[in-house]
Structure formats: structure tokens, C-alpha cells
Amino acid sequence: MAELAGADQKAALDAAQAAATKQGDTVRSLKALQKDNKADKAEVDAAIAKLKELKASAQAKQEAYADVAGKAAGQSKEAFRAAMAETLQRRMFYVPSFKIYGAVAGFYDYGPPGCAVKQNLTALWRKHFVLEENMLEVECPSVTPEVVLKASGHVERFTDFMVTDVVTHDCHRADHLLEAALEARLADTKAPPSVEDHEALRNELATVEELDAAALGAALRRHGVKAPDTGNDISEPFPFNLMFRTSIGPKGDQVGYLRPETAQGIFVNFKDLLYYNGGRLPFAAAQIGQSYRNEIAPRAGLLRVREFTQAEIEHFCNPADKSHPKFASIAAVEPLLFSRELQMGAEKLPKPMSLGEAVDKGIIANQTLAYFIGRTYLFMVAAGVTPSRLRFRQHLVHEMAHYAEDCWDAEVECSYGWIECAGLADRSAYDLRAHSAKSGQDLTAYEKFPEMRTVDVMVVTPNKQLVGKTFKRDARAVQDALEALGEEDAACLQDQLKSGPAKLTAAEGQVFEVTPAMVDVSRVQRKLAGRNFTPSVIEPSFGVGRIIYCLLEHCYYTREGDEKRAVFGLVPLIAPIKASVFPLVNNPQLADAARALSAALTVGGLANVVDTTAVSIGRRYARTDELGVPFGLTVDRQTLDDGTVTLRERDSTSQVRVGSAEAPALLQRLTNMSLTWMEVQATFPAQQTADAAE
Amino acid sequence: MAELAGADQKAALDAAQAAATKQGDTVRSLKALQKDNKADKAEVDAAIAKLKELKASAQAKQEAYADVAGKAAGQSKEAFRAAMAETLQRRMFYVPSFKIYGAVAGFYDYGPPGCAVKQNLTALWRKHFVLEENMLEVECPSVTPEVVLKASGHVERFTDFMVTDVVTHDCHRADHLLEAALEARLADTKAPPSVEDHEALRNELATVEELDAAALGAALRRHGVKAPDTGNDISEPFPFNLMFRTSIGPKGDQVGYLRPETAQGIFVNFKDLLYYNGGRLPFAAAQIGQSYRNEIAPRAGLLRVREFTQAEIEHFCNPADKSHPKFASIAAVEPLLFSRELQMGAEKLPKPMSLGEAVDKGIIANQTLAYFIGRTYLFMVAAGVTPSRLRFRQHLVHEMAHYAEDCWDAEVECSYGWIECAGLADRSAYDLRAHSAKSGQDLTAYEKFPEMRTVDVMVVTPNKQLVGKTFKRDARAVQDALEALGEEDAACLQDQLKSGPAKLTAAEGQVFEVTPAMVDVSRVQRKLAGRNFTPSVIEPSFGVGRIIYCLLEHCYYTREGDEKRAVFGLVPLIAPIKASVFPLVNNPQLADAARALSAALTVGGLANVVDTTAVSIGRRYARTDELGVPFGLTVDRQTLDDGTVTLRERDSTSQVRVGSAEAPALLQRLTNMSLTWMEVQATFPAQQTADAAE
């Protein structure tokens, strides 16, 4: 495999993107100041002009880099993936779980570097979302009683369609088998499909996910699909629930499941969280934790696993007001948006668009959803996702649940295609309503009107005597059901009663017939100081493992001229180890100095290793490049004379000479990315790069 | 409830302990320098004398504080616990999970402050252990296939004894019922037991945990124990496995369990971790994650739950060398040790002893185990555990598993008694041997001898022809079994064959009879460059929730003179929110200044809240005291004039005036505890404390 992407292009791209990001911050600050009349228009315009220039430059460099990376990847995605996977497993980023027992599909262990990357990524997420937005973070158990997941709909609907081999009883995902059959037919070179068939097959392939059991079964029969490997007949497709089931307590009578998502833990705590927040809306709660899906056929490494880490946010707001106080801070952010319109259009390509424009044009449903799209974009880019390989794809109308107002997936391109790494959905009041109905608990918030409002309300007054006489011991249930009617249901009942008796459903599901004499329903005017309402939920939900996998693909490259020298160009914030310390020769004094430097780095909270193995410095560099270590500190004879060490940056391989004592503070700033390598190069004397010797 | 502990005593104690800890560091550094002849004896002796003085002072303050705290707690443990629990639940530190559905015993949700405390505690653990010791951190799934837990012994032995109510079939823990019966008999005032009976009952109570099913059943019958609440007869005790069981994959034929501990994930990865570490021993691996125990009768809040967070370390070392390179750094640490001897002695009280002395006297089995006891002590104290309420209790011989070399529990005193918060065990080679036997994988390490060694080895040479003729298709199994014999088994076989045929067990468990003619076993001398061996494992294992609960008890107090003003005196590092910002009057300019200050704190990574509610500053302080917020920043009219704000420390309620711009950096140092409040008070002008106004 030839050089996958030039380190030079990568370094130039990083620098250009950093400069553009910085200028973007400047523009945003100036705009904020301008609002308060603390900056004038000329100043803002000049800053915007400069931003445009920097963006164009970054875009050009992006294309140059993507070209190199793409060409190599294009040559053979499989070879690229295999080479990277070999490095990942050998250096123990992650390995199949329970390997000594033959492994179990869909489970992975994070080894030391992978675990550190994951820690760093979730720490960044926590800072970017929880800390900066003052979110309420919670931690709830994975084991969940059935009632919660009945309310959420998971017990009934969290399923994939499965078929079994009628002879071996092996299980397969029905959609996967159909997709494979369609792809094979499309790729058939011996008897290629006609132009019309080709078009029809492509359309069928694009809509496999939307088929129900009967349609899926019909399609499988139509294409004569058999069980893979055996060629046996397959069963009709049937739904298989993806939740791991268990039993809580010693009696064995309480069904529990491992949670399929972390979100439900937040919803069931809504009332306490609202109280914690002083009863005020909007607020957001967040949770990072494990979720579980008993996949029928796990595949694609970290992308589809049975146990994974989610980071979810539930932002609760007034359905009548989905503006966001900090929207201005991201209005100028320009991610690639792949709206419904663009997906249905001729080009089928996403386009960059500012989030301000997207909201103004009604492309994104509201400010709050757009705000989180912007924050998600900034998070992903800060973590090291290549901006041109990140797009926000809007769900088509038929993809969305009936209650959803708008949904966008953050999709990242990797060798497996465009992968959903985060989902951002306006779920309206669905979740809270479902739990309120199931638990019988009031899950509303109260809104005080700025001034008293006169409103029409429906008042339902049962004729208690008649109800009692008619329904006897069910009278209480009927009366409760009448009094619990919402505005719409009451209006509906009023309507029905005009033409005679009407049906009424009580809490336990019994249906009663009520007559006009039994109840008075009338619309009256009331003066109200406020109202109770069920908040809307805007949910950004992240798959941590998927982001990690895509990150690793985006930053993996081999050194120009040496395809065996793999590098993970992880940004310093995410890199598992921040610095390697190399004593250059086998001299006890240098080893002591290296150990002291390492100890100083540790005190500064910087993960580091001392590499004292007796191999060339080039081989030692190569070894830490594979772990994505961004900085190397070399302790040599000169260190003993003047206390300086060599500081090497991984991607450029350029080196400067810095004082050993100032190295920890310098590395802290490089690691938290408040200092760039360019700035370091401008400050410290360059050291002759011994690249040939490497 | 009267003031539980004076804030003054607490502050004085903290200061004295901090001073003693600092001096301890100085002494350790000087001793290290002395070793290298860089410090003279007089200097070291002087530092030690000062350390003793500071320790005596801290001890006196400790006693004064414990006296206040103890008196209050002593008055009524239950009242203390109830008052604290009310605060914890109202401020959402943690709440019963699934509360809107009536909750499920043994599950808790951490709300925002509890979640932050947990994050801070695990971050400290990671820095203290993983970063400072360069441990290899891994993250493995909770869902575990049965084979792993068969190898570890959990499928067979991870049980509690259960009895059922013969009428209702309700389940009870047999040991809990017996303990309750014995305690009731001991506390019987109407017909008090005789002196001899009293002694016998106490002895019986102390040994309940050691009874097997039959003995437990006999004891329950002897004391006429019935089912609680119903008074019905109970069944005989039987073992109930505490693992949550599930099924992996769609076929339903692969049994899995939720892991009962995180340790097994490390053991099954041993080979890869050893490779990652360059084949070198010793090294330690660590894991923080959820573990699960389907308790029969969860109780005592966070102390016995069904899903909990563990932080575990497995330190792998050569069984022939359990010294620790950094032992000197903790040799002078003096925790309360409750050795076997002290437990069996008359006083039954733990005593402070330096770890150096404990190893020298053979009280702790080896340096590595003692090193981790020392590090655990320093971690617990740094997190805020009161040192006098932390002891290390050695397991009595009969408490230990047969393979264990030595075990110590870190026990913390709280209102429930002395609670095991961490366990430190030398598990010898048991775990790796068990997994090696079950998986058939080699889980040994290689040790290169400093120079070639001549050793006696047993060589087993099968007579292939005769074995083949005798055992036909089993010949391969017999030959393999002969060649796989270890040193001891070969010697044993050699012995047996001297007097005729001997039994041989093959891998699958079949037993064969081999004759002297079939195999030659002889002892020969070999020159060896090294050897393969199964490493020993030293395991420190922490229960995160238990530590949090004990921490909360240790730092909970009410303000003197106002029993309703509860305070969590959490150390700044662990506190969920580091600072509250209070704009003093309803003035938009002050609100802006408060928001700007809050934003600056956020940039510095400091969790903070702005409290703008229109109540007195005293009530606002009280509210953040309950959340354990260590610092308050008050923005007042003077801020607009000179840019200074008031900085208040929670426990002393003393205040200084600091520049608004320097506040974030100051708070960072106060929070990471590199700066003490005393030092701040010495640097900045005091602000008149408006305590009365509070």
C-alpha cells in the first residue's frame, strides 16, 4: 500500500483549519460586541473577509489532502482497512473480547491506548456539552425493569427481522440477506441486468430498510434467496427483539432488560431534574453509559456491536418556544447539510450552509435543533473528524417516527461508507407523555404567563348521582376518566354527545358508554396566570465507539516513502499518550534525567512513557507514531550541559530545542490545544531534523 | 439534631492534616536524597521531628473533631443518617431508580451532584493509580459468556444462602435471618440471656458468615427462626447464584451473565497485555466499570446494590520476587492496621503502624501488597475519608480462599459500622492458572535468568509404539497427557511407576492406566537461560459507591447554632461544583459581571453555577453549602469600581477580597489542592464576614 496520505498535506491542512477556526471565533466575538455597540461594522467586515480567505485556503488544502488520502483509500478500501486493523489490534487499541475462549461476536475490549482515547473523547464531550452548557448529568443503571421499556415502546418495537435456516436453524438478518442478493445481482458480470432492471434493483436496494415482514418475505422469495453457506431454504421473516433479557431478584418473576439506550433513565427522572433546576425550562440533562443490543449478526467491527457506549442529551423546552439563547454563537457555523431536498435532488450531494440560513429558510425546524447541530459539528471537528467527511443528513419524512418533528444524523465517511455517529431529533413531547401515561405521574412543567390570559377551556362536570346509579362499583373509574379528559378529548366528547351516547375509555382500558345526561361538557372563559404543559424533547445522541472508529480511519496514514511506518495522527487532546521520553544513549545520567522529566510530566497530568529500549531513535519514533503519540522528548548529551531537550512533533517530524524545565507546561498547552505547533516553532530554535536517520 | 460537628474544628483539622501530609512528603524526599548522599542525617532527623510534632497536633485536632462528630452521631445514628439521606435525596445526589414506577430495590440513579462527585472520584483514582503508576487500563464488556465465569468459579460458587417462606415463597437471606434472631435474643430485656448464653450467642453471631448450608439450617431450626412479617415456616437454606443471567445471540443457546466483577476481563487479556508491556514483569492493569450482583435482599442504600461501579487493579509479578521498586515512597505511611493478631487479641483494636515496619515484621506478606495498602490509604485520605475512621483489616486465615497468600480490607467507619470499601489480596497464581486450564492457552511469562542455571528437570519420554498398540485411537490423548505433565506430576508418576502401573488423567478427563514399559520418566540436569512461570496477582479492588457513601457521611455536618443548615464539607477536588457566583443586588451590570466571571471559570474547566435568585445572600450560601460547593464568589457594587469580588470558603465561612480576573486561576489551584485556604488568607485582604447576615 503506497503512502495513504502525506504527512505534509496533513500538517498544512491542520494548520489552515486551526487558523480558520480561530478566525471564526474572532468573528463571532466581534459580532457579539457589535450587538452591544462595542465594535464597528468595518472591523467586523474585515474580520469576515479574512475568515473567508482562510476558509478558502483550508478548503484547498482539504482537497489536496483528501485527494492523497482518497486516492490511496480508493485503490483498495479493503487493503487500507486491513492494514489499519492490523495496527489497531497489534497495538491493542481494541481486541475481540474473550479471545482466549474463541471470542464472542459483537464484543470488543478496549486495550490501553483505545481506553485512553475513549476517556479523552468522553472528557472532551463532557467539557464541550455538560460543562459549557451547564447540563444536568445523571448516571442510571443498565438493568431496567420491563415496565419502563414497555412505556418507551422498546418491548414491542425494538426489533429486527430475522430468518432461520430451516435445516440448521442458524439465524440471519432478513434485510442483510436481501441486500446481499440485490448487490450480487447488480454486480453480476456474466448475465448483467438490463438498464431497466438495474434501475429497479437499485431502487429496491435503497428501500430495503422500509419493508415490513410480509414485504421482506415476498422480496426474498422473488429473488430466490437461500441461507448463506448451506444453500438451504429460509423461514419467513419474523421480528426478533434486540434487548438482552434477564430477571431481577431471587424469585425470578420480575423481567428486566439491559437498556437499549441511556435516554430512558433521563426521562423517568424528569420531574426530579426539573425540581433540581428550580422548575425552570429549558434545561438539558445528559448521560454517558453503556447500552446493549443483542444484534442478530454483528459485523463491521466497532460499528455494530452488542455492548457500546452512548452519550445522550435530552434538552427539555417549551414546545411553543424552541429558540435558543446561544444560537447566535453558532449561526455562522457552516457544516455540510444534506437536507431532504438535496437528497431528493438530481445531484444527491450535501452542501455547506450556515446554520443561521438553514433556520431562516426553514430547512432545520428550529433554533435549538440547529444549535445542537452546530455544537455537534464543533465537537466532532475538535475531536479530529475531517470536516469534509462529516455531513448532517436530514431524515426523509417516512424515516421519522410519527411524533418526530425533525431529525438529522451526523454521518461520518469511512471505508464502510457514511456512518451515523450521532442522531439529533426533535422528539416533541412523545417520551414524557408515554411515561406519564404508563406511570400515572404528572410529567408536565408549569409556565407562568407574562400577564394573565383569558382563554377558552373545556370544563367537564359529571352528574355524580346518575353516574353512581348507572355504573355502581365502576362509577369511580368513569368519574375519574371524565375528569382526566384533556382539552381535545373533551371537545371530541362534547361533539359526540350532541348526537347521543358516546364511548369513554377508563385508565385500566375498560370502555363505558356515557349519555348526555351523565355529563356536562362546556367551553368557558377563564383567566389564567399560567399553564401546565408537557415539554418537548430535543435529543442529540452520540455513539462513542463509532466516532472513535471513524476518527482512527481519518487520522491513519503511513509515512511517505515507507509504507510500513503507520501513524495515527490523533489530535493531541485525544491522543492516548501525550509524550514519549527517549534517553538517546545508554548512559545512567541520561536515564535519570529522562525519568525526572517523565515524573514532571506525570505531575502535570500528562500521560507519558519512557522508552529506554536499545534500538535506534528512528525505530523508537516509529513505535510511538503507531500509538498516535503527538510529541517526543529526546534527552541527549546536550541535556546534561544546558538542560535542553529536543521536542519533536509527530506529523511534521520537525523538532525544536526547549528547556527541560519548561517542557511540561509547554506540553500541557499543546495538549489542551491552546498553543499550536506553529507557535512553538516560531518561539524555539529549530533542531536539525534527523529524518534520514529515523 | 444539634450541631453534628463544628465547622471550626473541621477547618482546623483539615489544615493540620494538610500540614502533616506536606511534611511527610518532605521527609520522604529527604530520605530519598539521603540514600544518594544528597542530604545529611541531621537534616532528615530535623524533618522527622517536625513531622512527629505536626502529626501529634493533627491527632489532637482529629480527636477534638471526632469528639464533636461522634457525640452527635452517637446520640442517634439513625437520626443522623435520616437527616443526611433527606438532604441527599432532596438535592438529588442519588435517588432510587425508576421511582415513577415505584422503584426497584438495589438500584440507584446518581443525580447531577452525585454524578459529578463520582466523576471526580474516579478521575482522582485514575490519576493516583493509572497515571502515576503507568498502569494499563482496559475496558471490557459487562456481558460475559458462561465459560469465562465457569473458569473463574463464579458459576459454581458465587452464591448466597437463601430460604423461602413456605407459604408465600418470599425469599430471604438465610444469614440475615439468623443474625437478626441472634441480635434480638442478645437484646432481649424481658428474659435476658445468662452470662454464658450471652457469650455463646456473641460467638455464634461472629461466625454466621462461615456456616455452610447444613449448619445454617441447623442453627435456624435451633433458634426457631420463622419468616419475617408472616411468621410462616421457612425452607432449608440453599445456594442462590447472584449473577444476572442472560442469553447472547439470536439462537438463545449461548448463556451469558452480567459480570460480577471487572477483574476477569483483565485476566483473559493477560497475554496481550504482557505483549503490550514488551513482555516485562511486573506490570499492573486496571479497569473501572459496572459490575452486577442480583442480591437476594438489597439494603443499606448505596452499600449493597445490584449494579455498582468497581475500580480494580491486577498487578502481575514474579512469585519469587514481590518487592516493589517504589516501596520506599510509602514505607513511612502509618495507617491503622488491624492485623490477625490484633483481631484475636484482648483489646480488638487496630493500631497505627508504618508499612515499613509491618513488612519487616512479616505482618503484611510482601512489599507489593503493602505498597498498595499505602497507596490506597493516600487515595482515601486525598478523597476526604477521615484517617481515624479508615482501617486495614487483615483476613483471618479461615476467611481467605485456599489459594490466597494474604488479604487486607480497607474498612471505613460509617453509621452502618465498619464497611469494606476496598479489598487488597495477594491471589497467587490462581486466576491465570484457572483460565489457562479452561482455555488451553499458555498464560505464563518468561523470566531470563541473570546467568545460565543448571537445574534438575523431569523428562517424560513415552514409548510411542507400545502406547499406540495399547490404546489405539486413544493413543494420541495418552501421549499428549504424558508430555503435558508438569514437574510435580511427573515426579509423582515416576514414584508410582516404581511399584507398577499408574493412573493418568487425559485432557478430556478420561483416566488411563500406564505401565512402566510405556513411559520413561527420569530426572536430568539441564542448563537453562530462563524459565516460564505463571505470574502472581496482587489485586486491589475498590467499590466506588461505597467510598462515596462513606465520604458523604464523613463530611456532612450542620452549622453551629443552626441545625437546619446542612453542609457537605467535600474536599474541593471531589466537590461536584467548584464555585457559586452570586451577583449581590438586582442590577443588570452586576448580572453581566457575574456571567462573565462564570464564563471565565468554565473556560478554566471549573464547574460553577450563577445564583441570581432574589433571596438573601445567606440563604443562597446555605443552598450551595448543601451541595458541597467549596467556594463562593460574590459580585457587588465594589466590583464595578475596582474589579474585585468576595471569595468565601465554605467550612470556615471566612472571606477575602480578590481580583475578578485572577479568581479563575486561584480557584483552579484551590481545587486541585496545590494551594490551601490558609495560604489564600495570608495573601489577600480579609473581607468582613457577614455571618450574622447569612
Q: Nearest Cβ partner of A290 from B138, B268, B290?
A: B290
Q: Is the pLDDT of residue B534 over 60?
A: yes
Q: What is the pLDDT of residue B63?
A: 62
* Chain A CB within 8 Å of residue B276 CB: yes
| CATH level 2 (architecture), domain B577-687 | 3-Layer(aba) Sandwich (3.40)
Residues 188-207 of A with CB under 8 A from B: none
Query: Over the stretch A360-416, which tens digit does the pLDDT of each residue have?
Result: 999 999 999 999 999 999 999 999 999 999 999 999 988 888 889 999 999 999 999
* Chain B CB within 8 Å of residue A132 CB: yes
Q: Which range (A275-289, B480-494, B513-527) has the least confidence?
A: B480-494
Query: Over the stretch A410-434, which tens digit does the pLDDT of each residue have?
Result: 999 999 999 999 999 999 999 999 9
C-beta atoms surrounding B688 within 10 Å: 8
Which DSSP symbol is given to B139? Answer: B
Mapped onto helix, strand or coil, the DSSP state of residue B160 is strand
User: What residues in B contact A108, CB-CB < 8 Å?
Assistant: 141
Query: Over the stretch B570-601, which tens digit does the pLDDT of each residue have?
Result: 999 999 999 999 998 778 899 999 999 999 99
pLDDT category at B506 given cuts 50, 70, 90 is: confident
CA distance B478 to chain A (A): 24
CA distance A394 to chain B (A): 32
Indicate yes or no: CB of B99 within 8 angstroms of CB of A251: no
Q: What is the pLDDT of residue A241?
A: 96
Strand partners, A631: A579, A649
Q: Nearest Cβ partner of B292 from A143, A247, A275?
A: A143
CATH code of the domain made up of A445-533: 3.30.720.200
Nearest CA in chain B to A432: B100
- Report the residue of A101, A160, A314, A326 to disrupt the B interface, i.e. the one with the largest count of B CBs within 10 Å: A101
CA gyration radius for chain B?
A: 30
* Chain B CB within 8 Å of residue A326 CB: no
C-beta atoms surrounding B582 within 10 Å: 24
A282 preceded by a cis bond (ω within 30 of 0): yes
Indicate yes or no: CB of A251 within 8 angstroms of CB of B171: yes
- Report the residue of A139, A177, A235 to disrupt the B interface, i.e. the one with the largest count of B CBs within 10 Å: A139
C-beta atoms surrounding A322 within 10 Å: 20
Q: Is the pLDDT of residue B505 over 80?
A: yes
Query: Over the stretch A327-371, which tens digit does the pLDDT of each residue have?
Result: 999 999 999 999 999 998 888 899 999 999 999 999 999 999 999
Nearest CA in chain B to A142: B307
| CATH level 2 (architecture), domain A159-241 | 2-Layer Sandwich (3.30)
Indicate yes or no: CB of B272 within 8 angstroms of CB of A438: no
**In whole numbers, what is the pLDDT of chain B averaged over residues?**
91
Cα(B633)–Cα(B617) distance, rounded to whole angstroms?
11
CA distance B452 to chain A (A): 22
User: What residues in B contact A104, CB-CB < 8 Å?
Assistant: 145, 248, 254, 256
Q: What is the pLDDT of residue A62?
A: 66
Q: Is the pLDDT of residue B401 over 80?
A: yes
Q: What's the rounded mean pLDDT across residues B611-621?
A: 89
DSSP characters over A447-507: EEEEEEEEEEEEEEEE-HHHHHHHHGGGHHHHHHHHHT--HHHHHHHHHHHTTS-EEEE-T
What percent of chain A lies above the pLDDT cut of 70? 95
- Report the residue of B29, B98, B121, B165 to disrupt the A interface, i.e. the one with the largest count of A CBs within 10 Å: B98
Q: What is the pLDDT of residue B56?
A: 73
Cα(B356)–Cα(B331) distance, rounded to whole angstroms?
4
Q: What is the pLDDT of residue A405?
A: 94
Q: What is the pLDDT of residue B11?
A: 67
* Chain B CB within 8 Å of residue A115 CB: yes
pLDDT category at B4 given cuts 50, 70, 90 is: very low
Q: What's the rounded mean pLDDT across residues A155-167?
A: 95
More confidently predicted of A601 and B27: A601
Residue A96 C-alpha cell reads as 475481540
* Chain A CB within 8 Å of residue B238 CB: no
Q: Is the pLDDT of residue B33 over 90?
A: no
Q: What is the pLDDT of residue B692?
A: 37
Indicate yes or no: CB of B115 within 8 angstroms of CB of A139: yes
CA gyration radius for chain A?
A: 30
CA distance B485 to chain A (A): 22
- Report the residue of B89, B100, B293 to disrupt the A interface, i.e. the one with the largest count of A CBs within 10 Å: B100
Q: Give the closest residue to A462 by CA, choosing from A503, A509, A514, A499.
A: A514
* Chain B CB within 8 Å of residue A325 CB: no
DSSP characters over A249-266: STTS-EEEEE-S-SHHHH
Q: Nearest Cβ partner of B141 from A107, A245, A602?
A: A107
Q: Nearest Cβ partner of B142 from A132, A142, A171?
A: A142
Q: Which of the listed CATH numbers 3.30.720, 3.30.30, 1.20.120, 3.30.1330 matches domain B450-531?
A: 3.30.720
* Chain A CB within 8 Å of residue B588 CB: no
CA distance A613 to chain B (A): 10
Cα(A367)–Cα(A327) distance, rounded to whole angstroms?
6
Contact B617, B580 (CB under 8 A): no
CA distance B654 to chain A (A): 28
Cα(B270)–Cα(A334) distance, rounded to whole angstroms?
47
| Two domains, one topology: B85-155+247-444+534-565 and B450-531 | no
Mapped onto helix, strand or coil, the DSSP state of residue A156 is helix
Q: What is the pLDDT of residue A4?
A: 37
Q: Is the pLDDT of residue A286 over 70?
A: yes
More confidently predicted of A21 and A272: A272
What percent of chain A lies above the pLDDT cut of 90? 69
CA distances from B113 to A532, A632, A673, B45, B667 (A): 28, 39, 29, 45, 19
**For residue A519, what are the contacts with CB-CB under 8 A and spacing of at least 6?**
A460, A461, A462, A463, A467, A482, A493, A497
Nearest CA in chain B to A296: B250
Nearest CA in chain A to B118: A139
Q: What is the pLDDT of residue B400?
A: 86
CA distance B655 to chain A (A): 26
Query: Over the stretch A632-690, which tens digit does the pLDDT of each residue have?
Result: 999 999 999 999 999 999 999 999 999 999 999 999 999 998 999 999 999 999 987 55
Q: Which residues of A646-665 are buried (b: 16+ CB within 10 A; e: fewer)?
A: bbbbbbbbbbbbbebeebbe
Domain boundaries, chain B: 1-75, 85-155+247-444+534-565, 159-241, 450-531, 577-687
Nearest CA in chain B to A104: B145
Q: Give the closest residue to A628 by CA, choosing from A673, A566, A677, A690.
A: A566
Going by their DSSP bridges, the two strands B579-583 and B631-635 should be labelled as parallel
Cα(B2)–Cα(B560) distance, rounded to whole angstroms?
8
Residues 279-318 of A with CB under 8 A from B: 290, 292, 294, 296, 306-307
Q: What's the rounded mean pLDDT across residues A436-453?
A: 93
Indicate yes or no: CB of B258 within 8 angstroms of CB of A143: yes
CA distance B202 to chain A (A): 30
Helix (H) / strand (E) element for A647: namely strand A644-649
Contact A575, A649 (CB under 8 A): no
CATH entry 1.10.3720.10 includes domain B85-155+247-444+534-565? no
ipTM: 0.85
**For residue B258, what are the contacts with CB-CB under 8 A and spacing of at least 6?**
A142, A143, A246, A258, B142, B143, B144, B243, B244, B246, B291, B292
Residue B694 C-alpha cell reads as 447569612
User: What residues in A contact B269, CB-CB < 8 Å?
Assistant: 95, 99, 109, 111
